[in-house]
A = this chain, B = another copy of it.
């Protein structure tokens, strides 16, 4: 299949069960979202958690009381428009369905969190080569010792994604990604991985291992949307639905619209 660029067109395929894979590279000018669906009792604490931790949990869409539409982000039905879901019970994955109609309840809230794909395209446009994109692998992600600010039961450490860059490109990448605060914003760290509790950069906790980092490059770390999934797993919530990693919600919002406008 050649990459489809229209977000509505690809959502129709997903809705009809004809697209059940990773969304990277599809409709790449449009914002893709991490999904977290929670029963009402968790709603307020998790909303507050997102507000307190905008770098790992940039909230770009929200619905409550079982509302399945997310009209601000496009013609979306959250029960069918993600290529693959994960249904969690007591911190364990009990199903990986391609739609969640049978699980839907009228007290569900849906949280859509921005994703780093939105700032990778402007980095590439600025002439910065991104290793995992060049190699067609999944960005390496690591558990860290950076504590998120807690809210009610929600607490835990941040997950980060890593891109190796030269120093001039690190400076450029900080400049550019800081203009996209709704999709993780500026990095949280660079250089020594041990500073943030990462023991071996070649052994990521999620995604693919990086290639060896060149002598003129340093690892640059961004807050990652996998953070809430790790927290949900650790907390062993009685029930929760997320997207399957890499299988994101494709919205009608252009990445460019998430840039802080320069006048």
Spell out A's residues near B (CB within 8 Å): 167-168, 170-172, 174-175, 178, 186-191, 195, 218, 260-263
Contact = CB atoms under 8 A, between A and B. Distances in A.
Contacts of A195: 167
| 4 smallest beta-carbon distances between A and B, as pairs | A175-B178, A174-B174, A263-B263, A261-B263
Looking at chain A's contact residues, is the secondary structure mostly helix, strand, loop, or mixed? mixed
Contact of A190 (B171, B172, B178): B171
Query: How many chain copies?
Result: 2
Nearest to A261: B263
Contacts of A218: 191
B186 A175 contact: yes
Nearest to A195: B167
A191 B167 contact: yes
Contacts of A175: 174-175, 178, 186
Contacts of A168: 188-189
Nearest to A262: B260
A263 B261 CA distance: 6
A56 to B, nearest CB: 15
A147 to B, nearest CB: 14
Contacts of A167: 189-191, 195
7 contacts: A167-B189, A168-B188, A174-B186, A191-B191, A191-B218, A260-B262, A261-B262
Contacts of A263: 260-263
Given A262-B261, A263-B263, A171 B186 contact: yes
Contacts of A178: 174-175, 178
Nearest to A196: B167
Given A168-B189, A171-B189, 5 more contacts: A168-B188, A171-B190, A172-B186, A175-B178, A262-B263
Nearest to A172: B186
